[in-house]
Structures are given as C-alpha cells and as structure tokens.
Amino acid sequence: CRCCGPTVLILSGRNIDMTLHRKVVCGAAIEESAA
C-alpha cells in the first residue's frame, strides 16, 4: 500500500486489519486525489 507509507507499519503494529486499513486509508486517499 504505497499511498500510506510508514503509517502501514504503525497501524499493523496496533493489530489493525490490513485489508480494512487499505479500504479506509488508501480508499480515502484515492477519493481525495480524484476529487
């Protein structure tokens, strides 16, 4: 998940599900860039 950078490591360290993380963080980033 390139769009998230180091944040991925931080969130995964907190046991955040990576699939959910991609949908929320990367999905939001894609929507913002497209807006």
Q: DSSP string of 1-35?
A: -TTTTTHHHHHHHTT--HHHHIIIIIHHHHHHHH-
Q: Structure tokens of 20?
A: 């959910």
Other residues' Cβ atoms within 10 Å of the Cβ of residue 5: 9
Residue range(s) defining the domain that contains residue 7: 1-35
Given a contact cutoff of 8 angstroms between Cβ atoms, the answer to whether 8 and 21 are in contact is yes
* Count of structural domains within the chain: 1
CA distance 9 to 21: 11
Question: Which pLDDT does position 16 carry in this prediction?
Answer: 58
State pLDDT tens for residues 1-35.
455 555 555 555 555 566 676 677 767 766 666 65
